[in-house]
Amino acid sequence: MLRLTLRSLAAHRLRLLLTALSVVLGVAFVAGTLIFTDTMDGQAADIAGRLGRGVAVEVRAKDPGGRTRGVSVPVPEAVLRDVRRVPGVRGPVGVVSGYAALVSRDGTEVAAQGAQTPGVLAQAGGNWIPGGDYPLKTGRAPHGPGEMLVDEATAGRGGYRTGDEATVRLKGASRTMRIVGLVGSGDLAGRTLALFDTPTAQRLLLRPGDFTAVRTASDGVSEEVLRGRVAAVLPGDLEAVTGTQVRNELRNDLAALSYVGGLLMAFALIAVFVGAFVIFNTFSMLVAQRTKELALLRAIGASRGQVSRAVVGEAFAVGVVGSTLGLVAGTGMAALLQVILDEGPTSGPAFSGLAVSGTAVAASYAVGTVATVAAAYVPARRAARIPPIAALRDDVASPQGASKRRVVTGTVLAGGGGLALLAGLAGSGLTAQALVGLGAMLVFLGVTVLSPVLSGPVIELLGRGLPRWCGTPGLLARRNAQRSPRRTAATAGALMVGLALVGTVNVLGASMKASVGSQIDASFADDYLVLPVRGNSVDADAVTRVASTPGIARTTPSYTGDVELDGTRVEYGAGNLPTLMASVAHRMVDGGLDTGTDGVLVEDDLASAHHWKVGTVLTARFPDGGRQEVRVAGIYPLVGFGNAMLPESLYKAHTPLPAVHALNLKATTADAATLTALRRSLAAYPDLGIYDRSAWKREKVQSLDQMTGQITLLLALSIVIAAIGVANTLALSVFERTREIGLLRAVGADRGQVRRMIRLEAILIALFGAVLGLLIGLGFGIALQHAMAGLGFDVLVVPAVPLALCAVLAGVIGVAAAVWPARRAGRMDVLTAIAHE
């Protein structure tokens, strides 16, 4: 049987290679994703081993950087003195870190390269420590308030050399300093570094006498023992962790660069799922076409198991070939991802750092072969059931219609899914959203099962005008598409999946854009908004310039920060609360805006979750280490300022380096002259964006457009696989109907009419898949929009033009997929075709 399997593969090599191509595309995404994430993880481990090497224990705030829910408090200099007295420590040092961005000669901040990593500042400032993470490459160490070091890559991008003066932008202020040396980045390439001596770093980034952390090496004591000794001398807001834990956390932060891996894996699995439709259809048709051959095998003694194993063996071979080619393509894709995303922490050629692990290889072969064999399992069982007597028949016996069991199963699945959708839409919260997701999945499965039942009437409707417009070829195309409902449904199923997802994404994207636009229209009560395009604050000098601009009647700065309210970490906005609330045109849910010096406003969902009411007294813990009792003065709807709002006085009382996050501006006359004057005032700050209502709306909508476009582009892979499936099915169908096509030619059909018949059949099949897919996508999109209405996406929009373009695309796919099969059909020799068995 092995020899027979190999001969069968050779006889059908072109069709099976087309099938293998769908496996290649899916496996390439799986392999590329795994190789990319393994590479990032390996590089992250290497960097984490070098950054912080020699550190045995680190003292820091509990829950630093908001890893769980805490706010980061500074480490006082007194703690460093206490740590120095702990037995077993060696060379303890205080570490200072914060935001600092080098400004290039054109006035823009030198941007960090690549994607920003959670937990790692992209534009970082700190104190330079001799022998620390960042070795001095040229120049000397900084001394005094006017000197700094920058990393070599940042200096090159900014056009600076040692000895030049440069502006460094800090939180809320800028400083002009001299670059006295260049350092290496510790192989954490991509981010920018500005380093100062310790007193200067404390003054610019924290406050005098404070550190972000204290690190120490060990003098012959294990990390765990030393950690316990250090922890014994710490106050309650601080913790001691081992150097191993610090490096592991940094490794995890750096490995988060491969966040794209999860997204790509989702699309890879979609591609594999769509490819399964193609594989199933191909093997179903091959089994049907080889009925007599397989029956003869049974007649001469082959058992059912042998016949079944022969078909499965062919599928296994296709899976192995497709997986091998997919693994090679995936390796190239991983290298391309490093280049496109510019996320490789190390330098050098893209392929030099790739980590092709055994896991990636095994997963690629497992996905490719398992998916192929699983998709071919049903056709293989069907082949085993062919009776020997079928060898005497002239016709090809293959199931055409839909069984009663299929109708019942599909109806139950679709009906159950519809009930789950209705229950989810009627409820709220996570349970309702889960019901919507379950309902959508069941409806999709139900429609997939029922698609052979639906194919006849839908294609009848779609092709009703073909006989009138295209004559006999149109009539034959419609009947050919209706001849085998299962085959038509399986062929269109791959396209249905892709377009259902595209339709869902586009409905959600359009609804989100409309919702955001509606919210901006309702809440943008001032005339202008000034906000950093890059960076995290508005320079104090820029605030002064804006306030003195002709035509600006009122300037309202807002601030942001983190605070713990009764142990819950909350992101807040701060400023002149009556003016800020007026700028977003929102009324209070309860209470008022008179907060005094100890009052706060909380967002209504947060208040409901914790049962806070007006007058509730909370314990606030601030990043400066201070604690204060505050009272809930008012409750407001979500307005874009965070989950809480603090008066400006409370913010500044606990913020050593206050920084303006944004400026809300009211103009005497919001005209072109005022806007021109405002732009002139901020000409020295090109990183600040100036927005009126329409510009702010465009800014927000554009980001949603980009997200929708990127997801649609990735989903295009499934549509490409679907097109391969249509072409493969038509090619097999042409071979199956060789004699029929010969008879058509014999009774007068010319080559052009035959080709037209095949093209129209392909278009009908593609449009059938598009109609089902877009209707499903439209339903899913509407359901998800309703489920997300409580999150602010309360406007439903059905994007008619993009959905219509998808339908047109389906027709184009049909035409493209039919090119080769139609040409092959048209070139058949009439006598040879008639004599074909």
Residue 399 has pLDDT above 70, yes or no: no
Q: What is the mean pLDDT of residues 408-433?
A: 83
Burial 388-427, CB ≥16 within 10 A → b, else e: eebbeeeeeebeeebeeebeeebeebbebbeebbeebbee
Residue range 43-79, pLDDT digits in tens: 777 777 777 788 999 999 876 444 444 567 899 999 9
For residue 178, the model assigns a pLDDT of 97
Residue 99 shares a structural domain with residue 246: yes
For residue 346, the model assigns a pLDDT of 39
Domain finish residue from 676, 691, 706: 691
Q: Looking at the domain assignment, is residue 44 inside a domain?
A: no
Domain finish residue from 225, 257, 289: 257
Check: CB of residue 499 under 8 Å from CB of residue 719: yes
Task: Give the closest residue to 318 by CA, choosing from 374, 395, 389.
Answer: 374
Residue 705 shares a structural domain with residue 836: yes
Strand segments (E) across 566-621: 568-575, 590-591, 599-603, 617-621
Residue 231 has pLDDT above 80, yes or no: yes
Confidence of residue 831 (pLDDT cuts 50, 70, 90): confident
Residue 641 has pLDDT above 50, yes or no: yes
552 or 836, which is more confident:
552
Confidence of residue 784 (pLDDT cuts 50, 70, 90): confident
Number of domains in the chain: 3
For residue 565, the model assigns a pLDDT of 93
For residue 261, the model assigns a pLDDT of 66
Task: Give the closest residue to 576 by CA, choosing from 593, 561, 592.
Answer: 593
Q: Looking at the domain assignment, is residue 287 inside a domain?
A: no
Backbone angles phi, psi at 645, to 5 degrees: -135, 130
For residue 299, the model assigns a pLDDT of 78
For residue 764, the model assigns a pLDDT of 94
Residue 14 has pLDDT above 70, yes or no: no
To the nearest 10 degrees (0 to 180), the angle between helices 429-462 and 472-483 is 140
The percent of residues in the chain predicted with pLDDT above 90, rounded, is 38
421 or 13, which is more confident:
421
Residue 244 shares a structural domain with residue 145: yes
- Helix, strand or coil, per DSSP, at residue 135: coil
For residue 304, the model assigns a pLDDT of 84
Residue 567 shares a structural domain with residue 711: no
For residue 347, the model assigns a pLDDT of 41
Confidence of residue 712 (pLDDT cuts 50, 70, 90): confident
137 or 735, which is more confident:
137
For residue 68, the model assigns a pLDDT of 41
User: What is the CA angle 353-357-359, rounded to 5?
Assistant: 150
Confidence of residue 296 (pLDDT cuts 50, 70, 90): confident
Q: What is the mean pLDDT of residues 494-517?
A: 90
Residue 94 shares a structural domain with residue 142: yes
Residue 41 has pLDDT above 90, yes or no: no
Q: Looking at the domain assignment, is residue 588 inside a domain?
A: yes
Residue 94 shares a structural domain with residue 111: yes
The DSSP element (H or E) to which 700 belongs, if any, is helix 693-736
Q: What is the mean pLDDT of residues 632-652?
A: 88
The DSSP element (H or E) to which 80 belongs, if any, is helix 77-84
Confidence of residue 140 (pLDDT cuts 50, 70, 90): very high
Q: What is the mean pLDDT of residues 118-130?
A: 80
Residue 61 shares a structural domain with residue 207: yes
Residue 96's contacts (CB-CB under 8 Å, 6 or more residues apart) are: 126, 127, 198, 201, 202, 205, 206, 210, 211, 212
Tokens of 401: 């219609």
Q: Looking at the domain assignment, is residue 777 inside a domain?
A: yes
Residue 556 has pLDDT above 70, yes or no: yes
Residue 547 shares a structural domain with residue 644: yes
For residue 343, the model assigns a pLDDT of 45
For residue 676, the model assigns a pLDDT of 93
Q: What is the mean pLDDT of residues 575-594?
A: 86
233 or 310, which is more confident:
233
Residue 104 shares a structural domain with residue 160: yes
Residue 532 shares a structural domain with residue 671: yes
The percent of residues in the chain predicted with pLDDT above 70, rounded, is 89
Among 164-173, 393-402, 710-719, name the most confident range: 164-173
The domain in which residue 698 lies consists of 453-525+693-837
Residue 396 has pLDDT above 60, yes or no: no
Range of weakest confidence among 138-152, 616-630, 776-790: 776-790
For residue 15, the model assigns a pLDDT of 62
Q: Looking at the domain assignment, is residue 311 inside a domain?
A: no
Range of weakest confidence among 130-144, 414-428, 450-464, 823-837: 823-837
Q: What is the mean pLDDT of residues 809-820?
A: 89
Residue 140 shares a structural domain with residue 213: yes
The DSSP element (H or E) to which 522 belongs, if any, is helix 485-523
Our measurement of the distance from residue 164's CA atom to the centroid of its chain's CA atoms, rounded to an integer in Å, reads 41
Q: Looking at the domain assignment, is residue 174 inside a domain?
A: yes
Check: CB of residue 400 under 8 Å from CB of residue 484: yes
- Helix, strand or coil, per DSSP, at residue 632: strand
Confidence of residue 391 (pLDDT cuts 50, 70, 90): low
As a whole number, the mean pLDDT across the chain is 85
Confidence of residue 732 (pLDDT cuts 50, 70, 90): confident
Confidence of residue 258 (pLDDT cuts 50, 70, 90): low
Residue 119 shares a structural domain with residue 248: yes
Task: Give the closest residue to 656 by CA, choosing from 243, 169, 98, 153.
Answer: 98
Domain finish residue from 691, 718, 741: 691
Question: Alpha-carbon distance 244 to 56, whole Å?
Answer: 7
Q: Looking at the domain assignment, is residue 769 inside a domain?
A: yes
Q: Looking at the domain assignment, is residue 410 inside a domain?
A: no
What is the rounded end-to-end Cα distance, in angstroms, of the chain?
A: 24
For residue 837, the model assigns a pLDDT of 58
Confidence of residue 519 (pLDDT cuts 50, 70, 90): confident
Strand segments (E) across 658-794: 662-667, 688-691
Task: Give the closest residue to 587 by CA, choosing from 648, 525, 646, 529.
Answer: 525
Confidence of residue 652 (pLDDT cuts 50, 70, 90): very high
